[in-house]
């Protein structure tokens, strides 16, 4: 995790296990993958400066402060292979989760809901791409102080249609949202996944409505494949620009100067020099 970027792109770095602490002492928190600006600010406030400062704390402390990701990063920094390296394309899923941290915490209800529903759209797109459907969903709202409220719902039948899940997610959002509270992230977890390739209709299902939702989803996927992800999306996307801009909103030059055929989400992993010859 640290060696992969250390002294790039000039060479390969290998660190013996008994020297890990020396590298960590030279590595500031912001250089650790998984520590965003807000997390770094929180850890700095608690007196931490380097990866070593975090690794020498207890596992229970890391998990209490940052949750599951804190425990896993603590393990990685102590030399444990928490995130195994796999070269094969992933083909099986137990859950599909989407989480986005805001560039600045927000107390704007419409904006927070819009971010949550955007996560739902992204999750449903992934379900359809892998021909899956979900029979449960979990919604979580993470506040500025890292506390989190969560609620889960079981569905009567499996689905991957965004339009079908939107009313459910909105109702769960209303149960969790606290007016005036500042939120930093929204989370959607689609679970109890099953294959969407074969389906047996229930006797009392509204088959006409289900077929309409499936055709609508197929049409959305066709348009977005041709013109870009989320080009056709829920109307709540209009509220996504209602946030306080920060320096994290500024895109790198390489992402705004694309080669022919590249898109915002798909581009060649090669450097470019911004010089005129």
State how far the Cα of 182 lies from the Cα of 175, in Å rounded to an integer: 16
Ordered by start, the domain boundaries in the chain are: 17-77, 96-196+206-239
Right CATH for 17-77 from 1.10.150.20, 1.10.1740.10, 3.40.50.170, 1.20.1560.10: 1.10.150.20
Give me the residues paired with residue 190 across strands.
Answer: 96, 137
Contacts of 173 (CB under 8 A, 6+ apart): 112, 113, 116, 139, 141
In tens, the pLDDT along 227-251 reads 888 889 999 998 888 777 666 666 6
Cβ atoms < 10 Å from Cβ of 260: 4
pLDDT at 61: 94
CATH 3.30.1490.100 assigned to 96-196+206-239: yes
Tens-digit pLDDT profile for residues 9-43: 555 667 777 777 888 888 899 888 888 888 889 99
Q: Report residues of the chain scoring pLDDT below 50.
A: 277
Tokens 């998990």 label which residue?
A: 63
Give me the pLDDT at residue 197, please: 78
Q: What is the pTM of this model?
A: 0.65
Looking at residue 20, its pLDDT comes to 79
């Amino acid at each position: 995790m640290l060696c992969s970027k250390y002294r790039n792109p000039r060479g390969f770095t290998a660190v013996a296990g008994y020297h890990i602490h020396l590298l960590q002492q030279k590595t500031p928190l912001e250089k650790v993958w998984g520590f965003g600006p807000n997390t770094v600010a929180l850890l700095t406030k608690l007196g931490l400066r380097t990866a070593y400062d975090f690794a020498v704390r207890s596992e229970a402390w890391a998990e209490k402060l940052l949750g599951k990701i804190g425990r896993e990063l603590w393990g990685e920094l102590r030399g444990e292979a928490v995130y195994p390296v796999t070269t094969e394309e992933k083909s099986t899923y137990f859950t599909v989760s989407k989480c986005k941290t805001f560039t600045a915490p927000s107390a704007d209800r419409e904006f927070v809901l819009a971010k949550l529903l955007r996560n739902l759209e992204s999750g449903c797109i992934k379900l359809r791409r892998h021909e899956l459907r979900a029979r449960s969903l979990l919604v979580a709202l993470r506040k500025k102080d890292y506390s989190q409220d969560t609620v889960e719902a079981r569905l009567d039948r499996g689905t991957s249609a965004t339009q079908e899940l939107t009313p459910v997610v909105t109702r769960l959002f209303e149960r969790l949202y606290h007016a005036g509270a500042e939120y930093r992230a929204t989370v959607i977890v689609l679970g109890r996944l099953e294959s969407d390739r074969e389906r047996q209709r229930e006797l009392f299902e509204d088959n006409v409505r289900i077929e309409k939702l499936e055709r609508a989803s197929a049409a959305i996927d066709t348009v977005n494949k041709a013109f870009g992800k989320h080009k056709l999306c829920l109307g709540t996307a209009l509220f996504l620009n209602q946030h306080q801009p920060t320096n994290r909103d500024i895109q790198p030059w390489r992402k705004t100067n694309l080669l022919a055929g590249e898109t915002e989400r798909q581009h060649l992993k090669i450097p470019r020099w911004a010089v005129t010859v």
